[in-house]
Amino acid sequence: MVALVALYGPGPARLYSRHREGSFTSQDIIAALRYFRRKVGRPLTIVWDDLNQHHSAEMLDFVARHPEDFLLERLPGYAPDLNPEEGCNGVVKAELRNATPDSVAELRAQARASFVRLGHRHDVLAAFFLHAGLRLTGLP
């Protein structure tokens, strides 16, 4: 299970995520951007790592057609310690470490519930950015 996470300001940090089994395709990334735009509004600043799908021609074409909606900020090529999403994933993994789901569907539901709980911990979400040395305006 993989998650895309968007942390948004101004105001308290908020967590929005998309989950799926397996790897994300460029089409999945575009669908997630549309979802975040619908849920959060625009413009959106997207901070992401160097996943191939993040800079595919299809994805870059989509963003180019919506220049008022998205501002792309890239993290260095391989720097998980600078990626606030890794903090989110770490919290969820720690919470699920001793889980014993009976099915993939149950594991998915438990992971989703963990992300929802994390989404209410605004101070923790903001700390993931501070830990990475990133400052977002508008966060408490």
Helix (H) or strand (E) holding 31: helix 26-40
Helices H, strands E: what count in the chain? 5, 4
Asked whether 22 and 2 are in contact (CB, 8 A), the reply is yes
- pLDDT digits (tens), the chain, 140 positions: 444 555 555 566 667 777 777 788 889 889 988 988 888 888 887 777 777 788 899 999 999 999 999 888 777 767 778 788 888 889 999 999 999 999 989 998 999 899 889 888 888 888 887 887 776 554 44
Asked whether 11 and 138 are in contact (CB, 8 A), the reply is yes
Helix (H) or strand (E) holding 44: strand 44-48
State the Cα–Cα distance between residues 96 and 90, nearest whole angstrom.
10
Q: Which domains does the chain have, with CATH numbers?
A: 2-131 (3.30.420.10)
Least Cα distance to 76 among 13, 134, 8 occurs for: 134
Paired tokens of 112: 């989703």
Only one residue has tokens 């770490």, namely 90
What pTM was estimated for this model as a whole? 0.72
Least Cα distance to 137 among 9, 5, 6 occurs for: 9
